[in-house]
């Protein structure tokens, strides 16, 4: 964890390189220090910190989505380079998750690099005399929102093993908190960010992934959407409904309205790491066979798992005839949060507050949007929870939710086990370097 500061400096340097108009602002372009930013950063330097954070958020996205997708039995990853996708992540035989495994160490480190960058942004904006108080609130509110998002992704991996929330001083790291302490701290951080964004001015450019959400009002809606996700993880159902009302939630709106991480073929930019072409060989991402088996006839979400020309298999006997086809180009965006998830959060909160008819209405919006007839099952909490989880499974396929969803409803035992002796893990270990 202490080494993250070195990569933080690299992110700052990278940000500087794409902002030629502000190069004169950097005392040392090859490695500006945290202290140089913290003293009295210019607006261009603060914007560089934003650019570095947004760029860093995308690193190891593919590994994160693969890891939670494999454990959650959404998909397989066959890799000639690394058999651990089908051994350790699936609990083959006597194998277990390893605290030095790439599936935890790589995304864990990437998320904390961005957290460190956000801490630097918050400190620099707080101390800067080059911006107005309204602009300061914009920088700190946005930095805290991104920081909360990144911490949540790591907590999704380690779950009851917890995370570090206080990493402001790399030489004096805070303790690893348990799950409840961690998720409550993330919720509080989002609330702090919302307060900062109130009356703020957004003086920094954002990527196209924030189109429509690039002012203080839009970022507040983004913040509250993330807060609603955290609320249902905390079982704060009434609070989730309140936060949804302050987000961009729209029961009749575009399912894909939201905020995304974006990619491009531009020089120095990144391609979507979760994209593999259809009918690939060697390195492939395959939908778990149960996806096609369990989906209802006529459901258009089958298009997220397209038939291959030839099935793919591995030596252990795993096989699938469908590719994962969620990100359909190397520049396809990856959602951070979108309206279809918010509709399903609304349905979940309504179920849990016993407003069952309103929950059915929301679930029918999802069903109708995917060519399905209205829900005709039992209108009970238990039945509607199953229906809600089913719709989340297909709507949010390979977006990083399935494993977390079945885990928080104590339904890990419902996930398929494909080989004798395989395990369904509940949490990843804390990386060895943190212990």
pLDDT digits (tens, 9 = 90+) for 180-191: 999 999 999 999
Domain span at residue 88 reads 1-205
Asked if residues 435 and 168 have their Cβ atoms less than 8 Å apart, the reply is no
Q: What is the pLDDT of residues 198-219, one digit of tens each?
A: 999 999 999 999 999 999 999 9
Domain contains 189: yes
Say how far apart CA 1 and CA 318 lie, in whole Å.
Answer: 36
How far apart CA 219 and CA 141 sit, in angstroms, is 9
My answer on whether 252 and 364 are in the same domain is yes
The beta-carbon contacts of 346-350 under 8 Å, at least 24 apart in sequence, are 346/241, 346/244, 346/249, 346/251, 347/384, 347/388, 347/391, 348/232, 348/237, 348/240, 348/385, 348/388, 349/231, 349/232, 349/237, 349/238, 349/240, 349/241, 349/244, 350/241
Position 156 in a domain: yes
Same-domain pairing of 128 and 261: no
Cα 17 to chain center, whole Å? 27
Residues 170 and 83 in one domain: yes
Kindly state whether residues 132 and 4 are assigned to the same domain.
yes
Judge contact between 72 and 290, C-beta under 8 A: no
Residues 161 and 42 reside in one and the same domain: yes
Q: What is the pTM of this model?
A: 0.93
Examine the domain organization and report whether 259 and 393 are in the same domain: yes
Domain membership of residue 217 (yes or no) is no
Residue 222 and residue 373: Cα distance in Å, rounded? Answer: 31
In a domain, 32, yes or no: yes
Shared domain for 375 and 260, answered yes or no, is yes
Strands in 231-297 per DSSP E: 258-261, 284-287
Does the residue 192 lie in any domain? Answer: yes
Do 253 and 380 sit in the same domain of this protein? Answer: yes
Question: What's the length of the chain?
Answer: 435
Number of folded domains that form the chain: 2
At 103-138, the pLDDT tens digits run 999 999 999 999 999 999 999 999 999 999 999 999
87 part of a folded domain: yes
Q: Which residues pair with 287 in a beta bridge?
A: 75
**Residue 327 token pair:** 């990100």
Q: Are residues 257 and 200 in the same domain?
A: no
Q: Of all residues in the chain, what percent carry a pLDDT higher than 70? A: 92
Q: How far apart are CA 157 and CA 152, in angstroms?
A: 9
- Of 147, 182, 205, at which residue does a domain stop? 205
Q: List % helix, strand, coil for the chain (3-state, nearest 5).
A: 50, 10, 40
Q: Give the CATH number of the domain where residue 356 resides.
A: 1.25.40.390
Residues 61 and 145 placed together within one structural domain of the fold? yes
State whether 21 and 134 are in the same domain. Answer: yes
Per-residue pLDDT of the chain (435 residues; tens, 9 = 90+): 333 333 333 444 444 333 333 333 333 434 455 567 788 999 999 999 999 999 999 999 999 999 999 999 999 999 999 999 999 999 999 999 999 999 999 999 999 999 999 999 999 999 999 999 999 999 999 999 999 999 999 999 999 999 999 999 988 999 999 999 999 999 999 999 999 999 999 999 999 999 999 999 999 999 999 999 999 999 999 999 999 999 999 999 999 999 999 999 999 999 999 999 999 999 999 999 999 999 999 999 999 999 999 999 999 999 999 999 999 999 999 999 999 999 999 999 999 999 999 999 999 999 999 999 999 999 999 999 999 999 999 999 999 999 999 999 999 999 999 999 999 999 999 999 997
| Residue 162 resides in a domain | yes
CB 320 within 8 A of CB 287: yes
**Residue 37 pLDDT:** 78
Query: Domain check: are 133 and 200 in the same one?
Result: yes
User: pLDDT digits over 375-391, tens only?
Assistant: 999 999 999 999 999 99
């Amino acid at each position: 964890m202490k080494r993250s500061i070195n990569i933080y400096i690299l992110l700052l340097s990278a940000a500087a390189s794409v902002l030629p108009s502000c190069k004169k602002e950097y005392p040392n372009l090859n490695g500006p220090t945290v202290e140089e930013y913290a003293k009295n950063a210019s607006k261009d330097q603060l914007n560089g910190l934003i650019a570095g954070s947004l760029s860093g958020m995308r690193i190891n996205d593919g590994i994160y989505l693969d890891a939670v997708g494999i454990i959650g039995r959404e998909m397989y990853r066959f890799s000639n380079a690394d058999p651990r996708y089908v051994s350790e992540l699936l609990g083959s035989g006597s194998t277990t998750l390893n605290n030095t495994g790439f599936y935890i160490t790589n995304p864990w480190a990437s998320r904390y690099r961005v957290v460190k960058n956000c801490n630097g942004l918050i400190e620099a904006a707080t101390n800067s005399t080059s911006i107005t108080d309204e602009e300061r609130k914009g920088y700190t509110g946005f930095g805290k929102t991104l920081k909360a998002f990144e911490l949540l992704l790591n907590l999704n991996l380690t779950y009851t093993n917890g995370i570090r929330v206080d990493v402001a001083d790399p030489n004096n790291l805070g303790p690893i908190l348990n799950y409840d302490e961690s998720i409550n701290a993330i919720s509080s951080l989002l609330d702090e960010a919302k307060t900062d964004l109130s009356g703020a001015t957004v003086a920094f450019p954002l990527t196209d992934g924030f189109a429509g959400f690039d002012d203080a009002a839009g970022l507040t809606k983004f913040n509250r959407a993330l807060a609603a996700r955290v609320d249902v993880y905390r079982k704060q159902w009434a609070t989730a409904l309140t936060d949804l009302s302050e987000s961009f939630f729209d029961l009749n709106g575009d399912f894909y309205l939201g905020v995304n991480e974006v990619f491009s073929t531009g020089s120095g930019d990144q391609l979507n790491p979760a994209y593999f072409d259809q009918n690939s060989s060697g390195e492939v991402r395959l939908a778990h066979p149960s996806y096609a088996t369990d989906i209802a006839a006529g459901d258009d979400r089958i298009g997220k798992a397209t038939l291959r020309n030839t099935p793919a298999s591995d030596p252990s006997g795993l096989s699938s005839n469908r590719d994962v086809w969620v990100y359909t180009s190397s520049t396809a965006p990856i959602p951070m949060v979108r309206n279809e998830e918010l509709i399903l959060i609304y349905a979940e909160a309504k179920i849990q507050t016993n407003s069952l008819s309103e929950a059915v209405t929301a679930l029918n919006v999802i069903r109708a949007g995917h060519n399905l007839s209205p829900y005709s099952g039992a209108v009970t909490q238990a039945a509607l929870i199953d229906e809600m989880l089913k719709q989340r499974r297909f709507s949010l396929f390979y977006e990083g939710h399935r494993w977390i969803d079945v885990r928080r409803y104590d339904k890990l035992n419902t996930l398929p086990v494909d080989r004798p002796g395989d395990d369904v893990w509940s949490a990843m270990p804390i990386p060895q370097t943190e212990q």
